Amino acid sequence: MSNQPTKDRQYDVVIFGATGFTGALTAEYFAKHAPAELSWALAGRNKAKLQAVQRKLGVDVDRLHADVEDPASLKAVAESARIVVTTVGPYVRYGEPLVAACAEAGTDYLDLTGESEFVDRMYVAYHAKAVETGARLIHCCGFDSIPYDLGVQFTVEQLPKNVPIQVDGMIRAGGKPSGGTFETTITALSRGTQNLDAHRARRRAQGRPSGRSIKLVIGRIHRIQGFWAVPLPTVDPQIVAYSAGLLDDYGPDFRYSHYAAVKRLPMVAGGIGVVGLLVVAAKLAPARRALLSRIKAGDGPSEERRAKSWFKARFIGSGGGKRVTTEVAGGDPGYEETAKMLSECALSLALDELPKTSGQVTTAAAMGPALRNRLVDAGITFRTIAIEDS
214, 254 contact by CB (below 8 A): yes
Cis peptide before 145 (omega within 30 of 0): yes
Reported as half-sphere exposure (CB side, CA atoms, 13 A), residue 202 has a value of 20
pLDDT confidence of residue 63: 97
Q: How far apart are the first and last CA of the chain?
A: 38
Q: What's 238's DSSP letter?
A: H
Comparing CA positions, the residue from 13, 25, 336, 337 lying closest to residue 150 is: 337
pLDDT, one tens digit per residue, over 169-185 is: 999 988 765 555 666 66
| Nearest residue to 134 via CA among 86, 102, 99 | 102
Contacts of 249 (CB under 8 A, 6+ apart): 153, 156, 157, 161
368 φψ region: left (φ > 0), alpha (ψ -120 to 50), beta (else):
left
Euclidean distance between CA atoms 224 and 347, whole angstroms: 38
324 contacts: CB under 8 Å, gap ≥ 6: 155, 158, 159, 315, 316, 317, 318, 384, 386, 387
Check residue 272 and give its pLDDT.
59
SS3 at position 332: coil
pLDDT number for residue 287: 66
> 216: part of which helix (H) or strand (E)?
strand 213-216
Over the stretch 196-246, which tens digit does the pLDDT of each residue have?
Answer: 999 999 999 998 888 999 999 998 999 988 888 988 888 999 999 999 999
How far apart CA 240 and CA 349 sit, in angstroms, is 20
Could you give phi then psi for residue 56, rounded to 5 degrees?
-65, -40
Bridge partner residues of 224 (DSSP): 227
The reported pLDDT for the residue numbered 193 is 87
pLDDT computed for residue 1 by the predictor: 39
Per-residue pLDDT of the chain (390 residues; tens, 9 = 90+): 344 556 789 999 999 999 998 999 999 999 999 999 999 999 999 999 999 999 999 999 999 999 999 999 999 999 999 999 999 988 999 999 999 999 999 999 999 999 999 999 999 999 999 999 999 999 999 999 999 999 999 999 999 999 999 999 999 988 765 555 666 667 777 788 898 999 999 999 998 888 999 999 998 999 988 888 988 888 999 999 999 999 999 999 999 999 999 887 656 656 656 555 555 565 667 766 766 666 665 567 788 888 889 999 999 999 999 999 999 999 998 889 999 999 999 999 999 999 999 999 999 999 999 999 999 999 999 999 999 997
